[in-house]
Each structure stands twice: as C-alpha cells, then as structure tokens.
Structure 1
Amino acid sequence: MTGPSSLTARVLLLATLWSGLALVVIALVISALYRQSAERAFTDLLRAQLYNVINSVSIGEGNNLAGNPQLGDLRYSQPETGWYWIIEPLGTFAAAPLSSPSLGVSKIAVPSILNVPFNNRYERFYPVVDAFGNNVLVAETEVVLDSQGRAARFRVAGNLDAMEEDIATFNRSLYIALVVFGLGSLVVNGGAILFGLQPLDRARRALERIRRGDAERLEGEFPREVLPLVNEINALIESNRRIVDRARMQVGNLAHSLKTPLAVLLNEARSLEATQGELMRSQAEAMQAQVQSYLNRARIAAQRESVLVRTEVEPVLERLVRVMRRLNPEREFNLSVSPGAVLAMEQQDVEETVGNLLENAARFCRTGVWLRVAAAAGPPAGEPADTIRRTWLEVVVEDDGPGLEPGQLGEATKRGRRFDESRPGAGLGLSIVSEIAGEYQGSFELQRSEKGGLRATLLLPSVTKDVA
C-alpha cells in the first residue's frame, strides 16, 4: 500500500494523524485526572459531612440520641435524593436511631466488616443502591459517645449519580473544546505547511518555465534548505547543454570529414563507363544516406534527454508547404495545425520527417496532399506512460494517389525497400522517418487513406504551454 503522492498531502496527513492522536490521548488523560479529582473531592465531602453529623449528636435526656445536624444542603431534607445521614446505636445502647428526612422510613444495607474493612482512620467507604434506585457512596465510622462506653454507628451517603453527571458535563465541555482546538490546529497546520512548501512550488514552476523554453535555468530566491537542490538542477542543465553541444560538434566534424571522400567517389563515378559509374554512384549515394541517417540518430540520442529541445510546429510546416507548392505547382497542399502546437524535437528533425512524408505524398498523389497536426490522446501503443507529464501530437499526411496494398504497408518502412522503380529515390525516406520517430519515443504508421491514397501517421512528443 502506498501513501499519498503529494508531499503537501503527506505532511498534512501525518500532522493531522499526530494531532488527532495527541488530542485523543490528552482527552483521555484529562478526563481520567478529573474523575480521580472528582471522586477524591466527593469522598472528602462525605467525610466532612460525616464529622459534622458526629459533632452535632450527643446522648440526651432519657438516654436517647439527641441532635439535629444541619449540613447546609437541602438535599438532606428532600426525599429520595440519595443524600442521607443515619445514626444507629451499637451494642447495649438501646436508643432509637436518627436519620435525615430525605431517607424517610427506608433503610440502607450495611455490608459486613469482613467484606469492607475499616481503614487506619477507622473509616470505611462503600457503594450501595438505596431503596429508590440511587447509586450512593456511604461514609461510615463508629464513635463512643460518653464515658460509659455507649457508641453509635454514623453514616453519611451521597448520590454517585450527581458526581457522574458532573463528570459527564465536564467531559462534554472538554471534548467540544478539544474538537474546536483540533479543527483550528488543522487549519493553522495546513496554512503553515502550505506556506513552508511554497519554495518547492516555486521550484516546480521554474522547472515548468524551463520545460516550456521560457527560461534556461532555475532562477529566483530559494531558502537555504532548497538551494542545494536548485544548484544541482542548474548544474545538471548546464552539463546537459555541454553534452549536447559536444555531440553536435562531433557530428558536424564527422559529417565534414566524410563529405569530401563521398564527393570524390561521386565525381569518379561520373567519369566511369555507364554501367560501372551507375553502380558506383548508387552505392556512394546509399553510403551518403546511411552516414547521414546514423549521424542523425547519434545527434538525436545526444540531445533527446534535453529539457530545452522544442520546435514551434506551425511556422516550420508552413515553410515546408510553401517549398512543396513551388516545386509542385500542379499539386494542391492543404495544411491544418492546432494553435500553439509545440514539438519536443529539434527543428531539423521535424523538417526531415515531415518533409520526407510530404515529398513522398507529392510524388504519388493525383491532385493534392493533406497535412494535419492535432493533439493526440496518449502515448504510442505498447509504450508505458511517462513518469513526467508528457503530451503528444499526431501528424497526419494523406494523399489521393494509388496508395499501397495491405501486404506492402509493413514493408514500406524497411531500409532501401521500393515498390516503384520507375520513379527516382533510394527507398530510404520512410525508414528515416520511422527511425527518427522511434528515437523520440514516438511511432510511425502507414494506412490506407479515405481519400484513396496513403495515410502516414506520426505520433510525436509535444510540449503544452498550459501546465496545470
């Protein structure tokens, strides 16, 4: 399972998860601490009330218990509240017991000392359910009331439901406050993360400007943490540019060194007898075409990875079409190009591929040639999608000539393959087109055209100016 691909989403998700976990732990800890504090305070209250009752009771006339405890809480006067005080004589002390008005004639069960023993202060606390269904906590002790050893059991009960309600109210307030704080923290964290990652977004936009050809290096102010990355990218671009320049220089040197020997061979071929001269001339021309083809492939391979290679399509194709119209005044050439189309190719490669297709179409058409360039839906069939965002252009050249038979379409792009020996040519044009398209990771396909002739389709990498 993979995480989010966006760095912003990943950091925001981790910050949200951590904040949520921290708030849950904080809520549980605070709630537990408050419960402990509430229970301790409840126990202390009952203990204080218990000793208030003890101090308010004595043995009066007739050896009866006398006293009227006033605990300052109306709940001890109201029935069925769960707040009671009870005084019961012990042993041979036969006085009548006393209890708060809230208890009425009901009684509260007393557990045995074995089950709930007294503590070192001779107190014990135990929960019970009263006759009215209230959960109460009882504080109990036994006190000797006079010098004759007469004693009584004193008990004070408090309603645990009141304490639980108080704890529940506190928890609700706590959870609401933490939720509000968590949402506020999420907004603040999101803003801080977006603000902190702005330099990376600026670097991305700077790279897009380079890819579109609007800049040659990353420029702008970047923080100390991002600056090493920017410097490395600029160094990589500069190294790439030097490699391309060096490859172009070597290609030019090789082409220049081979140009003179091939020209000498062609001149010598013209001075020989017809049969031998024609053979030597054709072989020299084939050598020349082969050398040019491999030089082109070497040049393309050297600069294919450059982020600065691009060609505006419309002016290049308009120029090619003007040349073809002058060379073939009896033919009609129709051009349709999507506005703003840019190919990620060298201009001379665009000219060579499309020029070969136009020349081939003009040679075999009856009345006209149609050239169309439009955006394509995806990469060539069988090719994986690029890890970078890449778009494609479809270049289509059609004619209304005789075309090719289905069995000939696959053979036409093979080097040196010709189907009409009556016309001039070396049979290399379509193979060169196919090779150049392949070097740019594109594709080249021949089909029957609806106009009756041949339909040549090039799928080539492009650069869009509308980068999201």
Structure 2
Amino acid sequence: MAIRSLTARVLAVSTVWAVVALVVIGVVISALYRQGSERGFKDLLRAQLFNVVNSISVNEKTVLAGSPQLGDLRFSQPQTGWYWIVDPIGEFDTPPLISTSLGNAKLPIASVDEVPFDTGYVRFYTTKDPFGNEVEVAETEVVLDIQGHTARFRVAGNRDVLEADINRFTRNLTIALSIFGLGGLGMNALTILFGLRPLDQVRRSLEKIRAGESERLDGAFPREIQPLANEVNALIDSNRRIVERARMQVGNLAHSLKTPIAVLLNEARVLEASHGELVRTQVDAMQMQVQSYLSRARIAAQRESVLARTEAQPALERLVRVMRKLNPEKEVHLSINPPGLVLAMELQDVEETVGNLLENAARHAKGEVWLNVRPATNEQHAKETGRQWIVLDVDDDGAGLDPDQIALALKRGKRLDESKPGTGLGLSIVSEIVREYQGTLTLSRRDEGGLRAELVLPAAV
C-alpha cells in the first residue's frame, strides 16, 4: 500500500537508508578490523618464529640446542594453544625441541602442496592441536650450519585470542553504531518534522478556509512554499470575483425581468376573467422558469467554491419551524444524526430544495412529516472517490405515489393533484438544483405508507 503521508514517506525512506547505511558501515568496518587483526596476528607469529630461529643452533655433538625466550608465559603453560617446535629434517638425527606448553603431544603439519611457502620462505596455516584448540601456525625451514643440518621451525598461536578480540570489537562497534543510529534517526525525524511544519501550516490554513473561518492562506511561509500560497490565494480571489460577478449578473437579469412580468400581471387583471386567468397562469409559470434558470446559473458559478457551506442543523430547524407555523394541524419532526453536519451548498439552495420537499410533504400528509438527516455510506452514493455525502429523507404519511406517478411528478409543470395550489414546478426545480450540485433526488413509496423523498447532497469536509 502506498504511503499517502508526505511526512511518513520521508521518514520511512530516510530511516531505511540510515539503517542500511549503518549496517553496511558496521559490516565494512568489522571486515577491515578482522583483516587488520589477522595481519597483526600473523606478524606477531612471524616475529616469534624468527626469535626461535635465532635462539636455536647445532652444538659440537650435532644436537639441537638452545632455549628460546619469547617473553610470553603461555608458551610455558600446558595446553594453551601457544607452542614452538623445532624438528630436524632429513638425515639430521637429533631429538626435536618442543615448548613445555605442548609437552609430548604432536602438532599436525599441513602439506606443502596445499599451503606453499611465500617469497620469504614462510607459510601460515590453520590446524587443530591435540587439545581441541584452533591454532594458527607460522612455519619455516632453516639450514643451521655448513654441514647442511636443516630444521623445521614452527610457532603456533591460539586463534581464540584473535576471535575474542574481533568479537569484542564487533560488539563495541555494534553498540556504538546502534546508539549513534538511534540518535541520528531521532534527530533526522525532528529535522524532517520541523522542515515540514510549513506544509502543516498550509493544511491548517486550508482547513480554516473550508470551515469558513478564513478567506485566504495567512502566515509567513518559506520561500519554497510562498509561491504556492500566493497561487492559492490568487485562485481563491479569482473564484470569489467570478462568483460575485455571476451573482451580480443574475441579480441584474432578475431585476430587469421583474418589471415586465409585473406589467403583464397588472394587465392581466383588467382582461376578461377567462383570458386574465390564462395570462396570470402563464406569467406565473414564466416567472418560476426564469427563477429556475437564474438559480442554475448562480449554482453553476459557485458550485466548486470551497466557501459554499451551510450548517445543516440551524438551517433545517428554521425550515421546520416555518412548516409548523404554516401547517399547525401537522406534526413536523426533525432528526440530525450526528449533529454538526455541514452541507457544501449555499444556504439559499438548501432552503429551496428542502423547503420545496417539506412543503409538498406537508400538503399531502395526513398528519405527520419526518425529516431525517444522516451521513451517506459509500454503497449509497459513490459517484466520486474520496468525496463525502449527506442523505436527507423527507417522509410523509400521505397516500404516496405509484412508480408511474413518481416519473410524472418529476416532470416540469406536471401536477398530480389539480385541487391543490401550485404550478407543478417545485420538484423539477429541486431536481435541477440537486443535479447542479452532482447530487440525487429519489422518490419512493414508504413501507408504512406515504412518500419518501431522498436527497443526497455534498458534505463539506
């Protein structure tokens, strides 16, 4: 799953890189230390080997003689893994000389074919002593006198000492790198969080704009973010000017049409009853249609504005109070769950849509009308990924409508009950306003009887 948080993404990448880098550094330093330690260990054995060579000679009885003093007590303590051995080679018949640490035991010799001598005629190989110690052996062969008496010289050192030193260094290195790594990761996290704080400030400013608490991105931003803030502010200003210009044009058009319509209504009053009623009816229909198209133009101009928002509870409570006063014989119920829902619509459009539905429900209800408001689930309305919606159900206990009647009711100017006042434009206007906000209007028969009008409208987040 992709990491959607920029902070988490930067922290994750930097943490992984830091851990990998520290592990690689630890491995490289440990490998270099091992190489240096093994080289130093072999240099020590080489020095002790030549010390033994310098201490041994052949006496007048053609016998190996000498007592090497290596300055290390481990060569005199038994089974320590530290030994020196001088063996005669060829026809040189004399007892070998062996350090007291090895006693009468034998130390295996590697084949020259497997481990040849180097240019200094010294070779190194690893073997096991009779006591189970893993030892590193330094070996050379030296001619001791002019008669050609030759001896093999060997000095062995216990590799446990070398491995213990390497392990101790690796452990200390691991502790040091771990402490440094944790400190570095903490400092890195603080640096990233501090560096990304301006983006959090931008986010909070945008939330204030969306909540209606501010109209611009306010604050002192770094020079990398300031151009973005300037562009957003410019976009908001441009959007506000467009909305204001559209509102002004709609208002001018409405004002210019008001006088001609009023003149037509006045003239209709002096006409004969039959002709006057016809003119008045047509002028009323024309006025409603003009108002409908003006509303659509206004909504289209402001639909994408982040400043369009209406708190559901106060607006709907006001509509319900009006309906109760106009219909004292009917009970109008309101339920908003949870409280605090906010619609991404202008207050005028909310009152127009919900008011029309409440008016229709009260007109046809026997005694009760219900308005229930709740958040929509993804299954109910998933037109746009990531957008939230609010459902408003307007129910009544009237006679309800059949499917054919529901389809007819949504058509412009169609009235199912000619005995009740109205132009038949209410539901079609509601449908058009809802459609402009990309919502839906659905009519259905309630299981308990009566009609349900379900509105799905955008929520402000």
- TM-score under structure 1 length normalisation: 0.90
User: Residues of 2 paired with 1:403 and 1:337: CA distance?
Assistant: 24
Could you tell me how far 1:270 is from its partner in structure 2? 4.1
What corresponds to 2:347 in structure 1?
347
What corresponds to 2:119 in structure 1?
120
Contact 2:79 2:102 in 1 (8 A): yes
What corresponds to 1:162 in structure 2?
161
Could you tell me how far 1:18 is from its partner in structure 2? 0.6
What corresponds to 2:456 in structure 1?
459
User: Residues of 2 paired with 1:319 and 1:21: CA distance?
Assistant: 63
What corresponds to 2:186 in structure 1?
187
What corresponds to 1:47 in structure 2?
46
- Asked if residue 316 in structure 1 is aligned to residue 315 in structure 2, the reply is yes
List per-residue Cα deviations over 1:112-141 (Å, max 9, x = no partner): 544433322222222333334433222122
Could you tell me how far 1:89 is from its partner in structure 2? 2.2
What corresponds to 1:241 in structure 2?
240
User: Residues of 2 paired with 1:317 and 1:456: CA distance?
Assistant: 16
What corresponds to 1:370 in structure 2?
370
Contact 1:376 1:459 in 2 (8 A): no
Could you tell me how far 1:217 is from its partner in structure 2? 0.8
Aligned residue for 2:34, secondary structure, equals helix
Could you tell me how far 1:205 is from its partner in structure 2? 1.0
Aligned residue for 2:154, secondary structure, equals strand
User: Residues of 1 paired with 2:88 and 2:366: CA distance?
Assistant: 129
Distance 1:384 1:82, change over 3 A: farther
Structure 1 residues 286-295 or 211-220, which shifts more? 286-295
Matching residue's letter, 1:355: G
What corresponds to 1:90 in structure 2?
89
List per-residue Cα deviations over 1:350-392 (Å, max 9, x = no partner): 11112211221222223343334x33143683533444xx544
Distance 1:201 1:454, change over 3 A: same
Structure 1 residues 167-176 or 378-387, which shifts more? 378-387
User: Residues of 2 paired with 1:155 and 1:266: CA distance?
Assistant: 128
Could you tell me how far 1:222 is from its partner in structure 2? 1.8
What corresponds to 1:413 in structure 2?
410
Aligned residue for 1:369, secondary structure, equals strand
User: Residues of 1 paired with 2:13 and 2:46: CA distance?
Assistant: 49
Distance 1:162 1:283, change over 3 A: same
Matching residue's letter, 1:348: Q
Could you tell me how far 1:19 is from its partner in structure 2? 0.5
Query: Matches of residues 430-441 of structure 1 in structure 2 within 5 Å?
Result: 430-441=427-438
Contact 1:398 1:451 in 2 (8 A): no
User: Residues of 1 paired with 2:357 and 2:456: CA distance?
Assistant: 14
Contact 2:381 2:389 in 1 (8 A): no
What corresponds to 2:397 in structure 1?
400
Contact 1:380 1:443 in 2 (8 A): no
User: Residues of 2 paired with 1:245 and 1:332: CA distance?
Assistant: 39
Matching residue's letter, 2:140: T
Identical-residue share of aligned pairs (%): 64
Matching residue's letter, 1:296: S
Distance 1:450 1:116, change over 3 A: closer
Q: Aligned Cα RMSD in Å? A: 2.5
User: Residues of 2 paired with 1:367 and 1:83: CA distance?
Assistant: 108
- TM-score under structure 2 length normalisation: 0.91
Aligned residue for 2:70, secondary structure, equals coil
Aligned residue for 1:445, secondary structure, equals strand
Contact 2:336 2:374 in 1 (8 A): no
Task: Give 5+ residue unaligned stretches, structure 1.
Answer: none
Aligned residue for 1:138, secondary structure, equals strand
Could you tell me how far 1:26 is from its partner in structure 2? 0.3
List per-residue Cα deviations over 1:278-305 (Å, max 9, x = no partner): 4443333322222211211111111011
What corresponds to 2:73 in structure 1?
74
Distance 1:441 1:113, change over 3 A: same
Aligned residue for 2:130, secondary structure, equals coil
User: Residues of 2 paired with 1:380 and 1:89: CA distance?
Assistant: 95
User: Residues of 1 paired with 2:329 and 2:374: CA distance?
Assistant: 31
What corresponds to 1:426 in structure 2?
423
Task: Give 5+ residue unaligned stretches, structure 2.
Answer: none
Could you tell me how far 1:235 is from its partner in structure 2? 1.0
Distance 1:105 1:443, change over 3 A: same
Could you tell me how far 1:192 is from its partner in structure 2? 1.7
Structure 1 residues 270-279 or 298-307, which shifts more? 270-279
User: Residues of 2 paired with 1:30 and 1:450: CA distance?
Assistant: 78
User: Residues of 2 paired with 1:114 and 1:395: CA distance?
Assistant: 94
Query: Matches of residues 191-340 of structure 1 in structure 2 within 5 Å?
Result: 191-337=190-336, 339-340=339-340
Distance 1:113 1:320, change over 3 A: closer
Aligned residue for 2:18, secondary structure, equals helix
Could you tell me how far 1:273 is from its partner in structure 2? 4.1
Aligned residue for 1:301, secondary structure, equals helix
Contact 1:379 1:442 in 2 (8 A): no
Structure 1 residues 290-299 or 107-116, which shifts more? 107-116
Contact 2:319 2:355 in 1 (8 A): yes
Matching residue's letter, 1:242: R
Between Structure 1 and Structure 2, how many residues are aligned? Answer: 460
Matching residue's letter, 1:234: N
Could you tell me how far 1:429 is from its partner in structure 2? 0.6
Aligned residue for 1:334, secondary structure, equals strand
Contact 1:364 1:401 in 2 (8 A): yes
What corresponds to 1:31 in structure 2?
30
User: Residues of 2 paired with 1:8 and 1:351: CA distance?
Assistant: 42
Aligned residue for 2:138, secondary structure, equals strand
Could you tell me how far 1:208 is from its partner in structure 2? 0.7
Structure 1 residues 282-291 or 7-16, which shifts more? 282-291
Distance 1:52 1:263, change over 3 A: same
2:441 corresponds, among 436, 439, 444, to 444
Matching residue's letter, 2:63: N
